[in-house]
Amino acid sequence: MKPLDPRLIRHARAARSYMVLTAMLGVVMSVAVVCQAILVARGVGGLASGVGFGPEEWTRLLGAVGLIVVIRVAVAWTQERFAHRAAAETIAELRGSVLKHVVALGPRFEAEGGAAKAAQLVTRGLDALDAYFTRYLPQLLMVVTVTPILLVVAGFVDWISAIIMFVTVPLIPVFMVLIGRLTEAYSARRLATMTNLGAQVMDLITGLPTLKALGREKGPAARVRKLSVAHQKATFATVRVAFLSGAALELIATLSVALVAVAVGLRLQAGRMDLIDGLAIIMIAPEIYLPLRNVGAHFHASANGVAASNRAFDLLAVPAPPAGRLPAPDLAAATIIFEQVCVDAPGRGYQAPADLSFTLPPGALTALTGPNGAGKSTAVAVLLGLTRPTSGRVMVQPGDGSAALDLSQIDPPSWWAQIAWAPQRPALAPGTVLQNLLEVYDSDPAATAAVERAARAAGFDSVVRSLPSGWQTRIGHGGLGLSVGQRQRLALARVFLQDKPLVILDEPTAHLDAATEEQVLASIRSLGRQGRTVLLVAHRQTLRAQAQSSVAVRSTAVDGAELVAAGGPTAGGAGSAATASGTGDADATGAGPTGAHTNGDAP
């Protein structure tokens, strides 16, 4: 564990400015300590030797000492204030960097469990950096500024005491390194336990509807309890080592100061040292060891934050696919071509999709069909630029006849700006229904005629009328307060509200009843009449019937044997088992039938 990781300075600008300020404050503090020691030594030495000062001299002396005390208090206050500010800004910068990098790594990283660990890291994990910035780092910088300056001053006052301190000062860092190696293992173990516990709880909460539907909601309780006990033991082990190591460092510092004081006392008794110099050295010596003692005292409090920052830097070191730089062509006239696209399923030994080739002409309505697990949603992720194909490529042929562009060369924001996408599980944030429809969370918008038309097109108008506060009804994270079908229709209303040339709908009728499904299908047909390019991920026959062309998506094992999803037919067949039962993807997602007959969801 490095006392000051260079990666922290590289990734956080707030840390750089804070370090410069703390170094400057350290110099001011050193000068103040020396001046205070000399003035107090002169005053006390004068009284002891019988050389009195007049009222005017005492007034100046006490005034100077009081001014120095005020300066030291001001330096401490400034350092404390900016430490908290730098800690907050640095944690915010690291959180933003981690979140952006996780997004750049794409959904594959999330599927491999990286998102849950990153969520734990950017919440509780990085919060531990606060103690590092407010307690440990200032004392560490004081060690490299105050301690050397005071050692030099001590050398001019009494070279013998300076040699003693020069020999004993390194003992504290040596013991800190030895103890720190032991503490690092405890801190890493505690962070790993906390991360595993957080990821386990997040996965449990995410899959709770499915576990409840299968009657397995009580099964993970033992695992969570076991992780909680392990986290408790690791925390107490870290605290125990912190107390023991802190006591050891305090003992070393105390003995070092005592050694200097004994040497000064013996020479004063022998008359080989001036009283004022001896008093000055005795007052300077504790100040030399104080930053080192504070570093040792706060080292363990910051160890968890350092371990979390190391996790963050390791995550940031994971290479992300390079983003394109070329602006996206006008998708209203562009042709999109999939050429032998294959994507490896992480850790599963097969490709889904495999050898996917098709053309998406402008203004056409195309459906992707195939069994569950064939790679339809992955193909959509490739088209969105969220996942890079393992082999093959996606080409974009502009309508003006210019050269075709590889999708990896196109700037993602310019590409996304022309796409409207309704996934199977729409992302909904806490706020009102209208804020989620407009995706504007920093204001309180009003419903417009365009909003009402989009709601009618998606069958969401009846949902709004049934809500207690209409458009201003508040929902929780992930759409808590709305049924699965209502969330789906809200996502569809988003798409119908946007005037984007490329529309991607992933199972848009999966959770809808027959009447609402027909309403949505009519709206999809209207998108085609408007000249928009529409790509459907379709299981239901009624949805596939709307498409002008269908593309069969299949998955293939690495050894060449084709995989068929359990309960589903081969690609291009009559549809999956969920379609045959008329429930869309409700069975696959674990959505229950609660309220299906009263809110327009699929029964």
pLDDT band at 535 (very low <50, low <70, confident <90, very high): very high
The answer to the question of residue 265 being in a domain is: yes
Query: At which of 285, 316, 347 does a domain end?
Result: 316
* Shared-domain flag, residues 303 and 393: no
pLDDT at 599: 44
Spatial distance between the Cα atoms of 444 and 432, rounded to a whole number of angstroms: 8
Q: Residues of 44-62 as b/e, b for ≥16 C-beta within 10 angstroms?
A: ebbeeeeeeeeeeeeeebe
Assess contact for 376 and 370: CB atoms under 8 A: yes
pLDDT at 59: 83
* Shared-domain flag, residues 351 and 284: no
Tokens of residue 166, six digits = 């020069």
Tokens of residue 343, six digits = 């994507």
Q: Average of pLDDT values for 75-88?
A: 83
pLDDT at 424: 83
Give the CATH number, domain containing residue 587.
3.40.50.300
* Shared-domain flag, residues 193 and 151: yes
**Has residue 566 got a pLDDT over 50?**
no
The answer to the question of residue 329 being in a domain is: no
Q: Using alpha carbons only, what angle is made at residue 448 by residues 443 and 454, rounded to the nearest 5 degrees?
A: 105
* Shared-domain flag, residues 73 and 211: yes
Domain holding 587, by residue range, is 335-425+499-599
Give the CATH number, domain containing residue 223.
1.20.1560.10
* Shared-domain flag, residues 161 and 261: yes
**Lowest-confidence pick of 8-22, 182-196, 258-272:** 182-196
* Shared-domain flag, residues 296 and 358: no
pLDDT digits (tens, 9 = 90+) for 325-350: 899 999 988 999 999 999 887 766 78
Query: At which of 316, 347, 365 does a domain end?
Result: 316
Structural domain total, the chain: 2
Query: At which of 316, 348, 367 does a domain end?
Result: 316
Instruction: Classify strands 502-506 and 365-369 as parallel, antiparallel or unpaired.
Output: unpaired
> In the chain, pLDDT over 90 holds for what percent of residues?
11
The answer to the question of residue 181 being in a domain is: yes
Preceding omega of 445 cis (within 30 degrees of 0): no
Question: Which residues are within 8 A (CB) of 579 and not within 5 positions of it... i.e. 6 or more apart?
Answer: 539, 540, 541
* Shared-domain flag, residues 382 and 248: no
Q: Average of pLDDT values for 254-260?
A: 85
Supply φ then ψ for residue 112, to 5 degrees.
Answer: -85, 10
Q: Average of pLDDT values for 244-253?
A: 74
* Shared-domain flag, residues 241 and 367: no
The answer to the question of residue 433 being in a domain is: no
The answer to the question of residue 284 being in a domain is: yes
The answer to the question of residue 32 being in a domain is: yes
* Shared-domain flag, residues 30 and 84: yes
pLDDT band at 601 (very low <50, low <70, confident <90, very high): low
The answer to the question of residue 111 being in a domain is: yes
**Lowest-confidence pick of 22-26, 190-194, 361-365, 593-597:** 593-597
* Shared-domain flag, residues 218 and 365: no
**Lowest-confidence pick of 241-255, 454-468, 484-498:** 241-255
**Has residue 72 got a pLDDT over 50?**
yes
pLDDT at 410: 92
Fill in the amino acid letter for 185.
A
Task: Write down the residue that tokens 């910051």 correspond to.
Answer: 302
**Has residue 480 got a pLDDT over 80?**
yes
* Shared-domain flag, residues 286 and 399: no
Which residues are paired to 356 by β-bridges? 341
Q: Average of pLDDT values for 8-24?
A: 76
**Has residue 564 got a pLDDT over 50?**
no
Q: Average of pLDDT values for 316-330?
A: 84
* Shared-domain flag, residues 151 and 220: yes
The answer to the question of residue 178 being in a domain is: yes
Fill in the amino acid letter for 145.
T
**Lowest-confidence pick of 64-73, 315-324, 357-366, 454-463:** 315-324
Fill in the amino acid letter for 348.
R
